[in-house]
Structure 1
Amino acid sequence: MATRYGDYGQYEVRRGRVPAVLRAPFEGRSWREFGYVLLGLPMGILLFTYAVTMVSLGAGLLVTFLGVPVLAAGLAGCRGLGSLERARARGLLGLEVADPEPLRMRKSGLLPWIGAVLGSGTSWRALLYAVIQFPWSVFSFVVALNFWAYGWALLTYPLWFWVFPVYLGQGGLQLYGDEQHSVYLDNPFEITVTALVGLLFTLATPWIVRALTMVDRLMVHGLLGPTKLSARVVELESDRGVVVDTAAADLRRIERDLHDGAQARLVALAMDLGLAKEKLTEDPEAAARMVDEAHGEVKTALQELRDLARGIHPAVLTDRGLDAALSSVASRCTVPVRVEVDLPRRPAAAIEGIAYFTVSELLQNVSKHSGARSATVDVWRSDDRLLLQVEDDGAGGADAGRGSGLAGLAERLDAVDGVLVVDSPEGGPTRITAELPWRG
């Protein structure tokens, strides 16, 4: 296997030495793009014919009750053909375009469906695509096919020019001819120049076709994909789901901590005090010992409640801000942590809380998993963004894509338009940067 990998690496080096302009006519990408342009003409004819027929029929029938359903059916068909075009662009151009927003119907039935189709911007954009794609497909088909055909025909002219004297009785390919003069490409110099011109055409054709398909990419992406507004709505809906799930998980955690921690201790404390009350007259010394033990349990329960309250929202964060709150978190870390907070003023309370819990979780990871000797926390503002960076000199290898706590943290940040960037090569150091909107 080592030999195969070595050979493949040499192949990559040799391939890299061939200029892209010379590779392009033989690359699969170029042939797929050429195939896309060729298929564009029949697809354009189909789209244009269907769109014009259905819209004309629907408009003509608007004086009757049939016009609106026919027009809605035509728009629905354009949406379906748009799906086919997205698949064609995905297969031949490698263009990944998400499906547009689905029809939104409050009720089921024919009339709500007609209203949803007619009121959907996606339907009308698909109709616009069906109309304008046809003239563009004609233009790109003619340009691409002519450049490709003439390029290869001229390039290979030295191989087939003998056809003219043998079968047509003329010296070669005719450039000009009238009653007095005829110009043929029939001598070695002219044949060589013809082949060189064909070579230029052949080398230029893939780039011309690529430029043509760039227009197709823009049309498919702009007219058949989701709009920025609808994509933003979908993103916000997804983020809302993450927020709801996170809040539910936090509530379950608080309930579990109360049930298994402070509540259990308070129940045991009540039982101990009840026994002490019974022994108070019979055995005062034993009752005193039991009261003393109960006093210790009270202190433990109070500490657990304080820790739980700190986990919900620490009082020091509300009273003194991120600098003091993060310094408090750093003091509980198992390794020395340097904290630097450079903020002109406090951000919004929600963002401040998210920043606090983000650093808290990252420092817990440093304590539990990193094997680091020291760590640093830096917080600063850049334009309208709040940036947090936690760095340690541990073993590295942290990865948010492995389903670890970092993945959940990234989802929480994404729910408020935040970003988590993990830079943790094997052997360290680990540098994790979180970016949040300021919203001050």
Structure 2
Amino acid sequence: MLQTFASSISSLLDARADGHSLPAGLYTRQDVFEADMDVFFRKHWICIGLECDVPEPGDATVVDIGTSSLIILRDDDAAIRVVRNVCRHRGARILDPGPTVVSKLVCPYHQWTYELSGELAYAPHMGADFDKSCKSLKPVAFRLIGGLIYACLSDDPPEDIDFLAEVMAGRLAPYDIANARIAHQADVIEEGNWKLTIENNRECYHCSANHPELCVSFIDLDFGFDPDSLSPEDREVAREHEALYARRTENWEAEGYPSKAVERLSDCVTNFRTQRLIISGAGESQTPDATSASSKLLGHMTRKDTGDTHLWGHNSWNHFMGDHAVIAIVIPLSADKTLVRTKWLVHKDAVEGVDYDFDKLTSVWLATTDQDAELVARSHAGVKDPAYVPGPYSRFSETNLDKFASWYIDRMRANGY
């Protein structure tokens, strides 16, 4: 039965044409969704949260990934831990989804009680010969990368997470995300497959027609263009922009801000891209007027003009600016529903109404996320239609989608599909 299941998915993988979107079944079928959860959300590293989700000892938050439930917590020694939200007695959930504060982890069912380290402290009526030492909560492999928490639910996590950590350590250090404060969190459920969510984020072909708020600070030339379609005047503008990028990147790096593009989008396990992008207009932040939302800058930042350090992976995208950061985490809920969890970070001491304006801080990405949700729903409705035929990606504006689709196919095959 398992062989037939894998073979059926394999035929869909084989049907994908280079340079084209995926066959419909890879977006819509339940068996593909289950395979995706196994391959990409259990066997690969995924971003699950932030160190500042649990700023104090005793702070905990629960994140559900498919049928798995994880507790992120800060223990009595102020260390981050990630453990399975499964009691070692009869498997009951210990904590409900979302944030909480605890002194110990107590299972509501039979009161088995665990230290914040995960060790079983108390198991009533189990007898004098009961060995508590082998009943600790199961730990989850995780890495702290610049204040982001990456986890892998496999017992054999990919080793190439080390390269991501190496690349991002210096880039994220000035923002001190581990000690930032979450000013706002918004959960949006998109009516579409998680791959459509990621594809939509990895191109800005659609931005000028759909994201007026974001386009105040985004530069459309950054996201690809057909040079033959430009007038001589516009081609000159594009050349000047490329020259500006080269100068700005060189200057930023000379000043100690790593900026060059680093890509691991194919022929790899852990998929990511990072680059410091120029912010348009006033050049400071992704706000309605591209000026900073917070007068108290993030972490150790002393400048507002250091652009937007972006980082994306296969279940997240992030924008780090001088005054604030925007973190988005993607969690598939079903073949046709995807949770996008967005967090806005400010300096840990920033005070709303004094150091920053809430609407200015959040309005651009609140609007953009709602607009993207509508686009993803449109896309998913279309791929379910019998008339859908995989279409060609733009070789100017959608090359990263082609790389993502190819990486997806490769990773599925590497895991036996």
Query: TM-score, normalised to structure 2's length?
Result: 0.22
Larger radius of gyration: 1
> Of Structure 1 and Structure 2, which has the larger fraction of its residues in strand?
2
Structure with higher RCO (Cα < 8 A, 6+ apart):
2
> Of Structure 1 and Structure 2, which has the larger fraction of its residues in helix?
1
